[in-house]
Amino acid sequence: MAAERGDPSTRTYGRRAFIAVTAFGLSSLLWGRPLWDVVSRGVQPLSSALPEGLVPSQGWRIYTVASSMPSFDPRTWRLKVDGLVSQPHSFTYAQLRSLPRTEQVSTFHCVTGWSVADVRWTGVRLRDLLSIVRPRATARVLSFVSAEKPYVDTLTLAQASLDDVLLAYEMDGKPLPRAHGAPVRLVIPEMYGYKNVKWVERIVLEHDAVPGYWEQRGYDTDAWVGRSNGL
């Protein structure tokens, strides 16, 4: 064995390759994401040619916390807006869609490191909804309660009043798919995906709110993209 090891015609390429590949892989924790952002623009046409849902071709991954996804029945579905408001409301799907319609194109960022560029959202500006229910002076926080129990997340009144904060009922020109929160999800592109509550069925205005689902698990309440969660 010792003689073989000393044999000049054999080289310990195995361990060297192991170390090189492992080091390369570990170093990608530093440069993987910036590189991917450049490369993915190049492969975008290629990957979007694949059938939808086969690979995360458009970049979407479907994250859920409950054992089943809520299903949407337009006849029974309601969006309740209550709490510290002068005019509590319960909107049907048709009523919600008859409110002033707005559209935006934005990038969706997940805190786990994936993003989807140029998503076209259509829906109701949250500010417009608030002008209907009229928050009381004591209201500070909005809780967005999902039909997917026990998911909930919050925004301050100031955050919720930003220009591009929507309750979206369409995505890329089509009714919001079930996996993306049908019929209505919150969209706040300035914040990571976990603030963009899917399957919203109730909005409660409060003075103090219970922390959201992921906030209870250590994530930041103010989830600004690039300026929170240690990223």
Partner 1 sequence: MTPTPGSVGRTGSDGGLIRRFSPTERALHWVHASAFLALLATGLVLYVPALSELVARRPLVKDAHLFTALAWIAALALVVGLGDRPGLRRTLGEIDRFDDDDLRWLRGRKAPQGRFNAGQKLNAVLTSSFALLFAVSGLLLWLGERDTRFRFGSTLLLHDALMYASVGLLVGHLYLAVIHPTTRHALRGITRGDVRRDWALEHHRTWAERARSPGP
Which DSSP symbol is given to 168?
E
Q: Which is nearer to partner 1, 100 or 226 (CB)?
A: 226
Distance between first and last Cα of the chain? 50
Which residues lie below 8 Å from residue 195, measured CB to CB, with a gap of 6+? Answer: 153, 155, 186, 188, 212, 223
124 token code pair: 């109701």
- Is 180 within 8 Å of 199 (Cβ atoms)? no
Q: Which is nearer to partner 1, 33 or 134 (CB)?
A: 33
Least distance (Å) between residue 81 CB and partner 1: 28
Q: Which is nearer to partner 1, 26 or 137 (CB)?
A: 26
Q: β-strands 185-187, 166-171: how paired?
A: antiparallel
**Which amino acid, residue 86?**
S
Least distance (Å) between residue 24 CB and partner 1: 9
Q: Which is nearer to partner 1, 74 or 150 (CB)?
A: 150
Least distance (Å) between residue 163 CB and partner 1: 27
- Is 206 within 8 Å of 83 (Cβ atoms)? yes
Compute the C-alpha angle 35/15/11, nearest 5°: 120
Least distance (Å) between residue 114 CB and partner 1: 6
Q: Which is nearer to partner 1, 67 or 138 (CB)?
A: 67
List contacts with partner 1 (CB under 8 A): 1, 4-5, 7, 9-15, 17-18, 21-22, 25-26, 28-33, 36, 52-56, 60-69, 111-114, 178-179, 217-218, 229-231
Least distance (Å) between residue 215 CB and partner 1: 12
Which DSSP symbol is given to 180?
G
Q: Which is nearer to partner 1, 63 or 134 (CB)?
A: 63
How far apart (Å, rounded) are the C-alpha atoms in residues 29 and 31? 6
How far apart (Å, rounded) are the C-alpha atoms in residues 83 and 61? 33
Least distance (Å) between residue 76 CB and partner 1: 21
